[in-house]
Structure 1
Amino acid sequence: MIHKMSDVQAKEIGANTNIWQFCVVLPDAKIGDECNICSHCLIENDVVIGNRVTVKSGVQIWDGIRINDDVFIGPNVTFTNDKTPRSKIYPDTFLTTIIEKGASIGANSTILPGVKIGEGAMVGAGSVVTRDVSPHSTVVGNPAREIIK
């Protein structure tokens, strides 16, 4: 289901994926099966989203973001893809950020570019992830630090 009040240009959207109102999905984005993209989200071109991914409201997924299967992205999570952003000055390529299978990212977290969040990892709400997160660990804070491994 693609809500009639969304602008979805992508052709590669899997079966039983829902994209709710006021979303924008650019033409080259790839979204898997059984995903739920909640309202007010933006998904750029060079984005790959796996199967059974939940993206809550208010999330922008920029070029270079790779999200594997069974990931949860909480409301208003902020992804970044450029370590030194400047107006009207773009890098030749954006850094790749990888969210591994089964990871969860809590509401209002910020994910810096080029990091990898490991399989089954948990990022606590409001955390600022500045470096890779180990598989099956829990990180919280600013900067995010491991509290459970």
Structure 2
Amino acid sequence: MSKIHPLSDVQTATIGENTLVWQYTVILKEAAIGDNCNINCQVFIENDVIIGNNVTVKPGVQIWDGIRIEDNVFIGPNVTFTNDRYPRSKQYPEEFQQTIVKKGASIGANATILGGITIGEHALIGAGSVVTKNVPANELWVGNPAKKLKNINK
């Protein structure tokens, strides 16, 4: 059974078993969240979002339409995702960019992930990094713009 804090606004019915949703979190009605997740306080999850099992989302994260997060992913506090390379007020693209965070990846605090990016399995993004291109599996990327620092083990 999932546990949803009464001070959150959870509109979706698609939340897996043993998932925790903390206070002041908003999850829109079409989002899908897997089992055994920890969705911390002050998180916003839009409609066209799929989150796998065993995912941790720390406070202050917004997960926009088109974001796909696979199993066993860690999203650090205040990570920023984008889904539109050329945003303008009240002008929406025909389709938002899709960003995929593959299983076992970790994204450090305050990292920025541009839309249309894939972060590979078990990759690690350092805190404060700005990811502007795809990150292969099992690599540590850091900096602005983020660049490969080294290979890592799972």
The TM-score range, normalised by the shorter chain, is over 0.9
Gaps of 5+ in 2: none
| TM-score, L = length of structure 2 | 0.96
1:73-118 Cα shifts (integer Å, max 9, x gaps):
0000000000000000000110100000000000000000000000
Q: CA deviation at 1:143?
A: 0.2
2:91 partner letter: I
Say which SS state the counterpart of residue 140 (structure 1) adopts.
strand
1:18-54 Cα shifts (integer Å, max 9, x gaps):
0000000000000000000000000000000000000
Give runs of aligned pairs for residues 17-56 of structure 1, distance below 5 A: 17-56=19-58
Deviating above 6 A after TM superposition, structure 1's stretches of 4 or more consecutive aligned residues are: none
The equivalent of 1:10 in structure 2 is 12
| Sequence identity (%) | 63
Give runs of aligned pairs for residues 124-139 of structure 1, distance below 5 A: 124-139=126-141
Distance 1:98 1:117 in 2: 6
Give runs of aligned pairs for residues 1-149 of structure 1, distance below 5 A: 1-149=3-151
Distance 1:148 1:6 in 2: 40
2:46 partner letter: E
1:9 partner letter: Q
Distance 2:112 2:54 in 1: 22
